[in-house]
């Protein structure tokens, strides 16, 4: 035996690639993301509507057994195949974020909704506003487990992305045909910014929030504060080419405002007008429907399934991400060994069965990864996979789906994830080391959550 080097020899790689030489062609007559893939003894022909289609054809080729002869005509069902990653609750270092983008691309997903700011941390450097990152990016400790337990870890946490790093993330995503849609959550979920610049708030002078849950310390809506928001959005537009810019708008308590919740409508309109002046549109949570969302705003419909219908009736384009169907921070089983079980039970089969409302206004769907209970990429991978594999099929494939058939195909795909070292949740359940007995959860029943959502969305009825 001749010992082999740890890394595959270059000549071996070259030969492998050569044996599966791909002849690529662009045919603008095909849809932008569509492709036709033929593999026979004479090699591989891949024709696509654009570079994106070629990219997806190659991802399919990745999955084919070496000797398979195929003719595949394929195109995605939805233009928006998204995942939200919350880097505010737990900061994710750049290399981990790039790896996460690789995993999205491998699943033909094409939008990363990057939740950059929240009460518990501000993650984007903004020129001229140094305290946003010197103060707002750091908290003294983090809550451990669900908020009902009121436990803390006593350990500082933080981090932020420089402008250069964000440009690298955007470019890395673009190379993989992923659009990064940034979100600056406003006018609520702003305690980290207010901790940095108390003049943005309503008298609050405390630190970045250490507890999970929603802060009542929100932006004041004075002209200087609106100017601050415009300045931040200008910087965001300079970095992110996305036609849609997230301005959040969810869960904004009005306790500190003299005029009540109606003030948010004017705030959202002002931000929409500013983004329009930059050629961009608002992407906002469904709370911005209350009192009327700005024309052209795209709605991330999350509070159960009703808001999507409301948005469609109002003529808005919608990204469906109902929490009880697509929140991947929710527990994957009722096994007591699941890490920090929160929300309602959301199994692999549940995600696979999800269907958004049928309407031309539905751009697609989005699975949301809120990271209160995921302090590392390893934890994110556990919660994301294999449910994100099921989600990928929901948004890529046609309406008819058969879970038994998916389940039969999944093990071969999990072997690919094994090869990439992905820490997916085993189909047999959590391993002992996946549990977080030190970070207890708060599992909910579907009935109680649906009742709560019905109450929360009263403002839309």
Signed CA dihedral, 325, 53, 238, 361: sign only? negative
- For ligand ACM, which is the closer residue by CB, 47 or 371? 371
Binding mask 223-242 for ligand ACM (x = CB under 6 A): --------------------
Number of amino acids touching ligand ACM (CB under 6 A)? 4
Decide: 75 and 47 in contact? Cβ < 8 Å: no
- Shortest Cβ 392–ligand ACM spacing (Å): 21
Decide: 304 and 453 in contact? Cβ < 8 Å: yes
Helix, strand, or coil (residue 409): helix
CA distance 49 to 88: 37
Decide: 312 and 361 in contact? Cβ < 8 Å: yes
- Shortest Cβ 287–ligand ACM spacing (Å): 8
Residues 6+ apart with CB under 8 A from 265: 290, 291, 292
Q: Give me the phi and psi of 87, to 5 degrees please.
A: -95, 5
Whose tokens are 């080097």? That residue is: 5
Q: Which residues are designated catalytic? A: 118, 189, 251
Write the CA distances from 142 to 77, 190, 353, 449, integer angstroms.
40, 17, 35, 25
- For ligand ACM, which is the closer residue by CB, 58 or 345? 345
* Closest C-alpha to 288, from 84, 460, 58: 460
User: Which positions from 45 through 64 interact with ligand ACM, judged by CB under 6 A?
Assistant: none
- Shortest Cβ 251–ligand ACM spacing (Å): 5
Helix, strand, or coil (residue 113): strand
Report the residue from 153, 251, 256, 434 that binds ligand ACM according to the rule CB under 6 A. Answer: 251
User: Which positions from 330 through 349 interact with ligand ACM, judged by CB under 6 A?
Assistant: none
- Shortest Cβ 189–ligand ACM spacing (Å): 8
- For ligand ACM, which is the closer residue by CB, 37 or 111? 111
Q: Does 302 bind ligand ACM (CB under 6 A)?
A: yes
CA distance 367 to 301: 11
CA atoms within 13 A on the CB side of 273: 8
Write the CA distances from 301 to 86, 195, 285, 296, 307, integer angstroms.
17, 29, 6, 15, 5
Burial grade of 60 (CB within 10 A; 0-12, 13-18, 19 or more): middle
Tokens of residue 102, six digits: 């690789």
Helix, strand, or coil (residue 408): helix
- For ligand ACM, which is the closer residue by CB, 250 or 256? 250
- Shortest Cβ 311–ligand ACM spacing (Å): 14
- For ligand ACM, which is the closer residue by CB, 153 or 250? 250
Q: Does 352 bind ligand ACM (CB under 6 A)?
A: no
> 179-183 and 157-158: which strand pairing?
unpaired
Other beta carbons within 10 angstroms of residue 175's beta carbon come to 12
Tokens of residue 353, six digits: 């069965």
- Shortest Cβ 211–ligand ACM spacing (Å): 15
- Shortest Cβ 113–ligand ACM spacing (Å): 10
- Shortest Cβ 326–ligand ACM spacing (Å): 11
Report the residue from 250, 256, 335, 434 that binds ligand ACM according to the rule CB under 6 A. Answer: 250
How much is the CA Rg of the chain, to the nearest whole Å? 23
- Shortest Cβ 356–ligand ACM spacing (Å): 16
Report the residue from 160, 228, 285, 330 that binds ligand ACM according to the rule CB under 6 A. Answer: 285
- For ligand ACM, which is the closer residue by CB, 249 or 341? 249
- For ligand ACM, which is the closer residue by CB, 74 or 251? 251
- For ligand ACM, which is the closer residue by CB, 119 or 393? 119
- For ligand ACM, which is the closer residue by CB, 286 or 393? 286
Closest residue to ligand ACM: CB criterion: 250
CA atoms within 13 A on the CB side of 408: 4
CA distance 21 to 15: 10
Which stretches of the chain bind ligand ACM, using CB under 6 A?
250-251, 285, 302
């Amino acid at each position: 035996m001749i010992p082999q080097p740890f890394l595959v020899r270059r000549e071996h790689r070259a030969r492998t690639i050569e044996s599966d030489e791909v002849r690529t062609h662009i045919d603008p007559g095909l849809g932008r993301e569509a492709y036709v893939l033929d593999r026979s003894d004479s090699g591989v022909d891949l024709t696509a509507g654009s570079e994106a289609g070629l990219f997806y054809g190659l991802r399919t080729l990745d999955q084919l057994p070496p000797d398979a002869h195929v003719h595949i005509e394929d195109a995605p069902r939805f233009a928006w195949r998204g995942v939200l990653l919350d880097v505010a609750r737990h900061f994710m270092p750049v290399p981990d974020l790039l790896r996460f983008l690789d995993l999205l691309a491998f699943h033909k997903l094409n939008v990363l909704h990057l939740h950059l700011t929240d009460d518990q941390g501000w993650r984007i450097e903004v020129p001229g506003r140094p305290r946003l990152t010197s103060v707002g990016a750091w908290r003294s400790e983090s809550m451990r487990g669900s908020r009902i337990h009121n436990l803390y870890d006593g350990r500082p946490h933080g981090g932020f992305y420089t402008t250069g790093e964000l440009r690298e993330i955007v470019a890395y995503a673009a190379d993989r045909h992923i659009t990064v849609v940034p979100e600056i959550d406003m006018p609520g979920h702003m305690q980290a910014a207010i901790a940095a610049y108390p003049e943005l708030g309503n008298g609050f002078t405390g630190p970045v929030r250490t507890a999970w849950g929603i802060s009542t310390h929100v932006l004041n809506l004075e002209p200087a504060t609106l100017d601050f928001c415009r300045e931040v959005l200008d910087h965001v537009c300079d970095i992110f080419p996305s036609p849609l810019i997230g301005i959040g708008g969810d869960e904004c308590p009005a306790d500190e405002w003299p005029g009540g919740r109606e003030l948010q409508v004017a705030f959202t309109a002002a931000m929409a007008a500013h983004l329009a002046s930059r050629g961009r549109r608002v992407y906002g949570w469904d709370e911005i429907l209350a009192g009327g969302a700005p024309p052209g705003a795209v709605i991330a419909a999350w509070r159960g399934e009703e808001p999507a219908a409301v948005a469609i009736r109002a003529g808005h384009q919608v990204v469906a991400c109902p929490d009880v169907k697509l929140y991947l921070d929710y527990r994957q089983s009722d096994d007591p060994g699941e890490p920090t079980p929160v929300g309602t039970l959301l199994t692999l089969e549940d995600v696979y069965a999800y269907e958004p409302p049928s309407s031309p206004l539905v751009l697609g769907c989005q699975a949301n990864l809120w990271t209160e209970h995921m302090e590392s990429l390893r934890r994110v991978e556990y919660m994301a996979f294999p449910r994100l594999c099921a989600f990928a099929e929901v948004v890529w494939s046609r309406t008819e789906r058969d879970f038994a058939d998916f389940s039969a195909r999944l093990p071969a795909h999990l072997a690919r994830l094994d090869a990439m070292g992905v820490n997916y949740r085993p189909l047999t359940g959590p391993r002992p080391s996946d549990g977080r007995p030190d970070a207890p959860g708060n599992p909910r029943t579907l009935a109680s959550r649906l009742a709560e959502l019905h109450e929360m969305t009263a403002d839309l009825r």
